[in-house]
């Protein structure tokens, strides 16, 4: 067996983080999991072309899944911070960078790290 490459480690971590956020929003259905797998396959190819992008895959997979969900189900993840007004989705920031976070542009706050939505939404948000 080959040792696990940094690329595979990063992809594995990205998959786990996004699945964790999906589970926090209770949308981890089978076809949603396959959206994550599709994204991981595409991003593996992408990082093979551009190895320096390995630190960015978690944010990119999160955005891929967000786009795929928007087409099929609607906005995800819904902002847990803003208690009133139109429901809106969080955005990943940076779009292309390491250490991605979910942010609400309306409130101008970082809500959670990608992978950390469960702890951000588990307690009642103080509004
Ligand atoms: Zn918001």
Instruction: List, run by run, the mean pLDDT of 10-residue segments along the chain (127 residues).
Output: 84 96 82 94 95 95 96 91 89 96 96 91 47
Q: Is the entire prediction scored with pTM above 0.85?
A: yes
CA distances from 81 to 60, 77, 78 (A): 23, 11, 9
Q: What is the pLDDT of residue 125?
A: 42
Has residue 60 been placed in a domain?
yes
Distance from the alpha carbon of residue 47 to the mean position of ligand 1, in angstroms: 32
Q: What's the total number of domains in the chain?
A: 1
Distance from the alpha carbon of residue 91 to the mean position of ligand 1, in angstroms: 10
Q: What is the pLDDT of residue 2?
A: 66
Has residue 1 been placed in a domain?
no
Has residue 124 been placed in a domain?
no
Domain residue limits at 109: 6-119
DSSP 8-class letter at 92: E
Query: Residue 73: which H helix or E strand, with range?
Result: none
Q: What is the pLDDT of residue 122?
A: 56
Burial class (CB in 10 A: 0-12, 13-18, 19+), 74: exposed
Has residue 79 been placed in a domain?
yes
Has residue 71 been placed in a domain?
yes
Has residue 38 been placed in a domain?
yes
- Tokens 């595979």 — which residue? 8
Has residue 16 been placed in a domain?
yes
Distance from the alpha carbon of residue 3 to the mean position of ligand 1, in angstroms: 42
Contacts of residue 31, defined as CB under 8 A and 6 or more positions apart, other chains included, come to 72
Has residue 126 been placed in a domain?
no
Cα 124 off chain centre by: 21
């Amino acid at each position: 067996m080959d040792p696990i490459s940094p690329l595979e480690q990063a992809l594995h971590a990205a998959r786990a983080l996004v699945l964790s956020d999906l589970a926090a929003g209770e949308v981890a259905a089978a076809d949603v999991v396959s959206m994550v797998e599709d994204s991981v396959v595409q991003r593996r190819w992408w990082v093979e072309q551009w190895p320096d992008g390995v630190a960015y895959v978690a944010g990119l997979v999160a955005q891929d899944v967000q786009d795929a969900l928007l087409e099929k189900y609607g906005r995800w993840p819904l902002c847990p911070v803003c208690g009133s007004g139109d429901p809106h989705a969080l955005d990943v920031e940076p779009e292309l960078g390491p250490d991605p976070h979910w942010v609400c542009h309306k409130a101008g706050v970082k809500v959670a790290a990608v992978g950390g939505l469960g702890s951000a939404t588990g307690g009642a948000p103080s509004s």
